[in-house]
Amino acid sequence: MKRIAVAGPSLALVKYWGKKDEGINLPLCTSVAITLDSLQSRVSIEDSQKDHDSCTLNGQDASLDSLRGILATLREQASPEKKQQFVHIEAENNFPTGAGLASSASGLAACALALVDFFGLSFTTRQLSSLARLGSGSACRSIFSGFTLWREGKEYAEQLAPPTHWEELRMIVCVVSDKKKEISSRLAMQSCKEFSPFFSQWIRYNNTLVADAVSAIHSRDLEKLGHCMQASYSAMHATMIANKYPIRYWLPQSLVLIKHAEYLRSKNIPVWETMDAGPQVKYLTKEQHVDAVLSSIQDVAPKTQSIVCKISDGVRFQ
């Protein structure tokens, strides 16, 4: 029977945007994130019938580019006969892929676990985090459950607190568009590093948000955490918009949802928004407000699909 590795996306509250080393995804800034349930990547691996590695994503042939570092690292450590074997990887996401919903984080975290198992190796969680990072930076956080921290320049992420630490927290993912983004986060980060006049300020500023975000998580202070989230995603998008070759992931509907969060807060409903490399808006709130928030989204943005996520377990076999 095929083993299936599953992982949820790592949604950053304080963002990672910029690499110290492009080849191996070492971050220039520290990020703080939560691992989500409801959205899931599933990966299974078998011996390839071909004379090369292959991969399908949601049933279609897919590129192995982001897996090359992971495969090379594992083959270096595998037994002589295992390293000769070619793999066939089948990956599936139950949510839009490449649309700013961190599918690369969950997908590559699940691939890392499934491949370590396939090659007959045994890794610590920290080694697994470091391995997943070679595929996609944010994947190193998806290895862990709950609240995570990935420090500037570090090879692996760490857990700040388990999901049980703050059980009433919910992330409502508002899918504004399920189209694949035109520019990948990899290219967009590179472009900002080279061409955004705000890039170095962005890195300095974002790092100043980390201590408050971490203490807000420890003391379960949603308002304090919300301010850090807003500051981080706003500065990240400002850096992109000011780029010499502007990167504008926002759609009109994204702004509608941002303004709506503002409106809800004015009515004493604590909802704090964030965005990633795509038009989707994610609302952080508490369980008791979810129904009110969902019905209000239907009023202002009826075409939006909203997915309610809890804070989840890390990567695992099903």
**Residues forming the site for ligand PMV (CB under 6 A):** 12, 15-17, 31, 102, 104-105, 136-138, 185-186, 276-277
> Is the CB of 159 or the CB of 185 nearer to ligand PMV?
185
CA distance 317 to 32: 25
CB of 267 to ligand PMV, least distance (A): 29
- The tokens of 74 are what? 């594992």
Q: Tell me the C-alpha to C-alpha distance, in Å, between residue 314 and each of 88, 95, 105, 150, 240.
A: 24, 18, 11, 15, 30
> Is the CB of 17 or the CB of 166 nearer to ligand PMV?
17
Torsion of CA 169, 171, 172, 178, to 10 degrees: -170
CA distance 190 to 188: 5
> Is the CB of 185 or the CB of 304 nearer to ligand PMV?
185
CA distance 229 to 285: 12
- The tokens of 71 are what? 């495969």
CB of 11 to ligand PMV, least distance (A): 7
> Is the CB of 25 or the CB of 304 nearer to ligand PMV?
25
CB of 201 to ligand PMV, least distance (A): 18
> Is the CB of 136 or the CB of 191 nearer to ligand PMV?
136
CB of 105 to ligand PMV, least distance (A): 6
> Is the CB of 155 or the CB of 264 nearer to ligand PMV?
155
> Is the CB of 23 or the CB of 302 nearer to ligand PMV?
23
Helices (H) and strands (E) in the chain, counts: 10, 16
Which residue in 131, 133, 100, 105 sits closest to 118, CA to CA? 131
CB of 188 to ligand PMV, least distance (A): 8
- The tokens of 72 are what? 């090379």
CB of 12 to ligand PMV, least distance (A): 3
E-strand stretches of 103-188: 147-150, 158-161, 169-175
CB of 199 to ligand PMV, least distance (A): 14
Q: How many CB atoms lie within 10 A of CB 71?
A: 20
- The tokens of 11 are what? 């949604």
